[in-house]
Amino acid sequence: MEKILLGLIGETWHLLLEMAPYLLFGFFVAGVLHLLLPKNKVSKHLAKGDTKSVVKAALLGIPLPLCSCGVIPVAAHLKKQGANKGPLQSFLVSTPTTGVDSILATYSLLGILFAVVRPVAALFSGLMAGIIANNSTKSAPVQQVRTFECPICPDKTPHTHSWREKIVHMFRYAFFELIEDIGTWIVLGIVIGGVISYFVPAEFIHKYLGNPFLAYPLMLLIGIPMYVCATGSIPMVAPLILKGMTPGAGLVFLFAGPATNTATLSFVAGEMGRKSLITYLASIVAGSLIFGLLIDLIWSMSGQDVRLISGGMQMLPDWIHISSAIFLSILILRTFMKKSAQKVSGEGMLITVPDMSCEHCKRTLDTAIRGVAGVNNVNIDLKTKQIEVVGQAERSNIFLVIKDAGYTVQHDE
């Protein structure tokens, strides 16, 4: 038993060592993008229903570190601000499938081929979804609602912040808020990857997942309904590929898994219609299969050169990997300690929001509700999906801002 435990810890620690420096740098870049690209700047590029807007939407979505759940409130806001259906579809497809943090983490474990193909696949699928949506629906030009949007605070009146405030916010978002969003999935992905590395024999993987005709459909079947972020999916797939699963099947899961979950599918169907849902799913499936086949073709033509699908860990000295892994572990541990302390007191109005599932959801709703007149305090418990509103605010106003943020109200007490 002790040998097994030590083996699992060793494999898990190895995966963490490989990913940590690239993840931390990716989080830093994500913080810069968060400061430079507030939602109002993104929305102004999505107002027209033309091909140029679709291209902009896909390109804007690729570097943003939003999962398939976190992209929902952003998409709801963009729709309210006047985003057209084609660009919105493009943004919804390209954003959760990759991100600057996941691109760097992909390179750390799966090498340059996956790191390049993954964002290209996101761009292709986003363009496909957006162009199909533009051609299938003749929507009238949308009048964009122009409002001031501060990336730092909820104040809607035009104002500025000092460079010190901007830098502090950038680091807070990068190394606290973003890790709160995906820290759980990083841990889960690394642990699952460690289990696969230690327990699953290479012969089994090669026999059953080395065949694309079996592996591709299986990865789609697992990935589409599953909720997993673009970064957390990487350590799940890397050990399977290194043990014999066809690299293309790995790309299928890395693409389809983060792009879809039941909450995202419900949002697309409910807010944009069944036709949009079909376009959304078709674009994701087509993109994952086409680029999965492309990766397998390149890998085969290279003579199955393992250097194409092995990570870039050797480029950095050991002390950077070790210090980065320790620092990232501390940040993630802080997230778990913070979550364990979050509870509602039962003193205020209780509202259940069933599609609230991550820290991004929590921050979005917390900010929106605190802006309602009469609200003194807001407590949110993600585990029970309950929001407690303390104050004299009108119940209908609270429900309205929740719905405007892209969420649903199940019931209230």
**Three-class HEC string of 280-347:** HHHHHHHHHHHHHHHHHHHHHHCCCCHHHHCCCHHHCCHHHHHHHHHHHHHHHHHHHHHHHCCCCCCC
Indicate if the pLDDT at residue 41 is higher than 80: no
Give all strands of the β-sheet with 411-412 in edge-to-edge order: 375-381, 386-391, 349-352, 411-412
CB 83 within 8 A of CB 47: yes
CB 221 within 8 A of CB 185: no
Whole-number CA gyration radius for the chain = 21
Q: What is the pLDDT of residue 412?
A: 47
Q: What are 367-407's pLDDT values in tens digits? A: 888 888 888 888 888 778 888 888 888 888 888 888 877 78
Q: What are 59-103's pLDDT values in tens digits? A: 988 988 877 667 777 777 777 767 788 888 898 899 888 888 889
Q: What is the pLDDT of residue 291?
A: 96
CB atoms within 10 A of CB 264: 24
The predicted model scores a pTM of 0.78
Q: What are 182-199's pLDDT values in tens digits? A: 888 888 888 888 888 888
Domain boundaries, the chain: 2-327, 343-412
Q: Please state at what angle helix 85-97 crosses helix 247-259, rounded to 10 degrees.
A: 130
Residues paired with 350 in a beta bridge: 388
Indicate if the pLDDT at residue 125 is higher than 70: yes
CB 212 within 8 A of CB 296: yes
Residues paired with 351 in a beta bridge: 387, 412
Q: What are 340-374's pLDDT values in tens digits? A: 555 666 677 888 888 777 777 788 888 888 888 88
- Does CATH place domain 343-412 in 3.40.190.10? no
